[in-house]
Amino acid sequence: MVRSSRPNSASSDEHSRIRVVVRVRPPIQEDYDHSFEAYEECVNVIPHTGDNPSKFLTLTRSHTDERDFMFDLVLGSDIQQSSMYGVVAEDIVNDVLQGFNGTVMAYGQTGTGKTHTIFGDIGNFQGINASGRVDSVSAKAGVIPRAVQQIFDHIEQNQEETEFQVTLSYTQLYKENIYDLLDEDRSGKILHLRESSRTGVYVDGLTALAVTSGTHLLDIVSVASKRRVMAGTSMNQLSSRSHVIMFITVEQRPKQTDPMAPDPVRRGVLAIVDLAGSERVSKTMSEGSRLDEAKKINQSLSALGNCVAALSSGSGHVPLRDSKLTRLLTDSLGGNTKTVICATVGPAECNYDETYSTLLFASRCMNVRTHATINEVSDFKTLNLTLQQQLAQAVDSNSG
Ligand code: ADP
Ligand code: MG
């Protein structure tokens, strides 16, 4: 039975709405190649006074037509991965370790740094100590390896008095179909979304693997990530055309429990989302099956945009059911989750329209409120997710 309790501290405004960070990547060769005449930049991060990080940027076209934006944080192209992690994801991971749900999501045009931010250099973590903890990650490591390091550091520091269980699920959404990246045999099998009043929206049959250490988790992820569909488009040779969503569940309970009245288990779920490119079809000059693919990718992203627009204006119907992506992210969009969105943009003027559209999306996200509470459950997930969900369904259908 899932129970939610109010957080002890009064939640500040920042913690009761989606946090939005914009990250500007440095120029790369493609920016020079795609510039029609001379390479020009259209994004200007306005430096903040003193050591404070910036919150403002301006977008300009042809040195005129200036638009100003304000976000929770704007990270310039000089910001390294470790600093990015500290301001984007560290607090959310701490919250997950307290039993909250957390979401870290990257949104932006292909080639602007979503995968760099979320994954970075995932296969190159260095140093494994006796308990399999990730001792250090490479300088290029993104959110995932650093979050895993933070989680297992916390576990190592608290394992004397607290019992932990960590499980991993890893899914890909491609052309409005959901696949299980952890299941080698069935990786071509399409999974379906189900809904239960007890567990909310879930992917039926999705693998939930118990992981024993940080290195164990990262090993699994680096193998599974190779199953992600990649295809070259004219915008970026390695552009990914699918959305990937990883769920890391951390459950914990104090060890000294009275067997007659055991402490509840706290369960925090960290969802890490690397979305497909947000650019329009015409820009990538997609043809044939790529066109079909791009339409379906746009279907999920348009639905995401529509939901965020409805949520931010606070009026009318929120079309969460319009795509698999928005159904899967129901909680992350205004539900029981603390969410941070990292919107990535490139600096080049040739991408002005895409950059403007990303910044508009990001601005709308600033108004989306969430209601995170600590999750307490009566016991560890001793059954795997599939079984639990079947049980939940059985209860639902019996009670309905
Ligand atoms: P996306 O996933 O949004 O399509 P990528 O993460 O693949 O984009 O980034 C495209 C290219 O730009 C990659 O070569 C990546 O290493 C580089 N890149 C992206 N962001 C940064 C950054 N902040 N600093 C340095 N290089 C970056
Ligand atoms: Mg990518």
**Does residue 177 sit in helix, strand or coil?**
strand
For the stretch 245-258, pLDDT in tens is: 999 999 999 987 77
123 C-alpha vs ligand 2 centroid, how far in Å? 16
For the stretch 317-327, pLDDT in tens is: 889 999 999 99
Tokens 């079909």 identify what position? 292
What is the rounded CA–CA span in Å between residue 24 and residue 355? Answer: 10
**Is the model's pTM score more than 0.80?**
yes
140 C-alpha vs ligand 1 centroid, how far in Å? 11
What is the rounded CA–CA span in Å between residue 302 and residue 311? Answer: 14
Q: Is 295 annotated as a binding residue?
A: no
| ipTM associated with this complex | 0.99
| Pair 105, 273: CB distance under 8 Å | yes
Closest CA to 241 of 147, 177, 185, 198: 177
* Ligand closest to CA 235: 1
For the stretch 268-277, pLDDT in tens is: 999 999 998 8
Within 10 angstroms of residue 255's Cβ, the number of other Cβ atoms is: 11
What is the rounded CA–CA span in Å between residue 150 and residue 166? Answer: 13
For the stretch 297-341, pLDDT in tens is: 678 888 998 899 888 888 778 899 999 999 999 888 878 889 999
User: Which regions in the chain score pLDDT beneath 50?
Assistant: 1-14, 126-130, 231-239, 285, 382-393, 395, 398-400
What is the overall mean pLDDT for the chain?
82
352-389 residues labelled b (16+ CB within 10 A) or e (exposed): bebbbbbbbbbbbbbebebebbbbbbeebbeeebeebb
Q: Which residues contact 286 (CB under 8 A, 6 or more apart)?
A: 233, 293, 294
**Does residue 377 sit in helix, strand or coil?**
strand
Residues with CB under 6 A from ligand 1: 25-26, 28, 108, 110-116, 236, 239, 277, 344
* Ligand closest to CA 106: 1
**Atom 22 of ligand 1: nearest residue by CA position:** 25
Within 10 angstroms of residue 250's Cβ, the number of other Cβ atoms is: 22
